[in-house]
Structure 1
Amino acid sequence: MGSENGKLKPEVMKDLRSHTFLLEDEIQDWYKQFIKDHPTGYLKREQFEELYSKNFPDGDASKFASHVFRTFDKDDSGSIDFKEFVIGLSITRRGTRKQKLKWAFNLYDSDKDGYITKQEMINIVKSIEKMTGESGDISKGKIKEVFSTLDADSDGRLTFDEFSSGAESFPKIVDMLGVDENRN
C-alpha cells in the first residue's frame, strides 16, 4: 500500500479518491485507524468476524461476517488490505444505488458464479437471523416465493438484472443487509 510517516502516498490517495465517495481527510483518518488496529496492513477473516461480533453481541455474526468478508476481499487473498477495506465501506455507506445493489448481489452470490440461487439467498437470510439473534419475518417459504417472483425466466437462478429489478418490488432483500439503499 505504501505510506510515508503514517500517511498514504499521494498516488495511493489519488487512486482511493477515484474509487470511493470519501474525502481525502476521511481516507487518511480511516487509514490511521486501520494501521493502528492492523499494523501488518491486513485484516484477516477472524479479525473481521470479531469486529462484527462486537456489534452483534446477542447473536452469532461469524457466518454473515464471512460473507461480507468475501465481498471485500476482491483478490481472494484471505485478507483485506486497506484499499479493499475502504472501497467496500465506501460502497456500502455512500455508493450509488446501482453500486449498492451490485454489492448486495455479490453478497448473495456466494459461489461467485454470477447468479444467485434459492439456496444462496436462504443461506444469507439465515446468517442474518443468526447474527441478530432473532428470527426475521422472512421464512424459508417466503424466500422461495420472493425468489420465484424475481426469477423472470424461471431458470432457478437470478441474474443481476433480475435481482436489481426485484429490489424495487422486494426492498427487504436489500434492506436486511444493512445497506442504506435510499442514498443516490
Structure 2
Amino acid sequence: MSSNPQAGRDGAARDAGAAEEVDPALRLFTLALRSRLTVAVAESLTGGRVAAAVTAVPGASAVLRGSVTAYATDLKARVLGVDAGLLDRVGAVDGEVARQMAEGVRKLCGADVGIATTGVAGPSEQDGKAVGTVYVAVVGPDPEDAEVAYERFAGDRGEIQRAATRLALASAVAHLTSWAAG
C-alpha cells in the first residue's frame, strides 16, 4: 500500500481515463469484426494509447493486425512511408501527414483499415503548430476513401493525449459505420 495518498488518486484517474477509451474501442472492435475488417494503427502524439485501448478488448487479435508508434519525424518517413519532402515542408503535424501515416501502417501491417494520430501534446508548440493541435486519419482499402479530422484540444499533455485517443477511436467508428451503411 502506498504511503502517498496522491498516488492512489492519480492511479484511479489513470484507470478512469483508460475505461473511457475502452467503450469506443469495443465499438470499433465490434464493427470491424462484423464487417470482417482488420485494423492497424500508427501513432505519434498518442504514444500507443489507441492500440492499447483496442487491445484492452478481449479478442482484439481478431481485428488488430499491429501498430507502430512513430514518435520521431524520420520514422514517419522510413517506417510508414510518409513523403519526406512533405515532412520537410509542413512538419509532422499535418492532415496529409496523418493520412499518409494511416495508409502506410495499413500497408505495412496488411490491414484493411489504417488509423493514425499526429499532433502537439505540449508543453510547447512544434513546427509552428499550437499545443492541442491534433490530426487523425482513417484510411480504408481505397486510399481515396480517407477521412482526416482536425481538432484543437485544451488541457495538459495527458488530457490532450486522452482526447486525441478518443477522437481517433470515434473517427474510426464513424468511418466503419459509414462503410457498413454504404
Structure with the higher helix share, 1 or 2: 1
Higher Cα radius of gyration: 1
Structure with the higher strand share, 1 or 2: 2
TM-score by length of structure 1 reads 0.28
TM-score by length of structure 2 reads 0.28
